Structure 1
Amino acid sequence: MSDRVKQVAAEEAERVKAITIDAVQSQAYIYPFKGLFYFITHKELWRPLISKLAPTITLSIGVTTLMFLVAYVPQAAVMAFTSGPIAAISAALLTLSESSTLINLLSRTFLIEDALVDVFDGTLLSRNCTNLVEGGRQISSKGDNIARLGKLVKKPFAKFSPNAIVRYLLYLPLNFIPIVGTVIFILLQGKRSGPAAHARYFQLKEWSSRQRELHIEENRGGYTSFGVTAFVLEMIPFANLVFAFTNTCGAALWAADFEKKATPSTRMQEVSKKAQ
Structure 2
Amino acid sequence: MADRVKQVAAEEADRVKTMTQEAVRSRAYLYPLKGIFYFLSHKDLWKPLTAKLAPTLTLSIGVTTFMFLIAYVPQVAIMAFTSGPVAAISAALLTLSESSTLINLFSRTFLIEDALVDTFDGTLLSRECTNLVEGGRQIRAGGDNIARLGKLVKRPFAKFTPNAIIRYVLYLPLNFIPIVGTAIFIALQGKRAGPAAHTRYFQLKEWSKSKREAHIEYHRGGYTAFGVVAFVLEMIPFANLLFAFTNTVGAALWAADLEKNATPSSNVRELAKKAE
- 3-state SS of paired residue (1:262): coil
Q: Distance in 2 between matches of 1:141 and 1:263?
A: 29
Residues 147-158 of structure 1 correspond to what in structure 2 (within 5 A)? 147-158=147-158
Q: Distance in 1 between matches of 2:251 and 2:28?
A: 9
Q: What's the counterpart of residue 128 of structure 1?
A: 128
The one-letter code of the counterpart of 1:88 is A
Gaps of 5+ in 2: 267-276
Q: What's the counterpart of residue 90 of structure 1?
A: 90
Shift of residue 78 of structure 1? 0.3
- 3-state SS of paired residue (1:157): coil
Shift of residue 265 of structure 1? 11
Q: What's the counterpart of residue 18 of structure 1?
A: 18
Q: What's the counterpart of residue 236 of structure 1?
A: 236
Q: What's the counterpart of residue 272 of structure 1?
A: none
Residues 211-250 of structure 1 correspond to what in structure 2 (within 5 A)? 211-250=211-250
Q: Distance in 1 between matches of 2:220 and 2:149?
A: 31
The one-letter code of the counterpart of 1:68 is F
CA RMSD of aligned residues (A): 1.2
Q: Distance in 1 between matches of 2:195 and 2:224?
A: 8
Q: Distance in 2 between matches of 1:264 and 1:167?
A: 32
The one-letter code of the counterpart of 1:103 is I
- 3-state SS of paired residue (1:151): strand
- 3-state SS of paired residue (1:237): coil
Q: What's the counterpart of residue 68 of structure 1?
A: 68
Gaps of 5+ in 1: 267-276
Q: Distance in 1 between matches of 2:260 and 2:237?
A: 35
Q: Distance in 2 between matches of 1:147 and 1:175?
A: 44
The one-letter code of the counterpart of 2:135 is G
The one-letter code of the counterpart of 1:96 is L
TM-score, with normalisation over the residues of structure 2? 0.95
- 3-state SS of paired residue (1:135): coil
Shift of residue 263 of structure 1? 2.6
The one-letter code of the counterpart of 1:156 is P
Q: Distance in 1 between matches of 2:12 and 2:88?
A: 33
Shift of residue 55 of structure 1? 0.2
Q: What's the counterpart of residue 5 of structure 2?
A: 5
- 3-state SS of paired residue (2:147): coil
Would you identify which runs of 4 or more consecutive aligned residues in structure 1 move more than 3 Å? none
Residue 65 of structure 2 is aligned to residue 101 of structure 1: no
Q: What's the counterpart of residue 29 of structure 1?
A: 29
Q: What's the counterpart of residue 143 of structure 2?
A: 143
Q: What's the counterpart of residue 115 of structure 1?
A: 115
Q: Distance in 2 between matches of 1:97 and 1:209?
A: 30
Q: Distance in 2 between matches of 1:157 and 1:227?
A: 16
Q: How many residues align?
A: 266
Q: Distance in 2 between matches of 1:60 and 1:142?
A: 35
- 3-state SS of paired residue (2:151): strand
Residues 147-226 of structure 1 correspond to what in structure 2 (within 5 A)? 147-226=147-226
Residues 197-248 of structure 1 show CA distances to partners (whole Å, capped at 9, x for unaligned) of 0000000000000000000000000000000000000000000100000000
TM-score, with normalisation over the residues of structure 1? 0.95
Q: Distance in 1 between matches of 2:4 and 2:84?
A: 36
What percent identity do the matched residue pairs reach?
A: 81
Q: Distance in 2 between matches of 1:223 and 1:30?
A: 11
Shift of residue 264 of structure 1? 9.2
Q: Distance in 2 between matches of 1:149 and 1:21?
A: 39
Shift of residue 10 of structure 1? 1.1
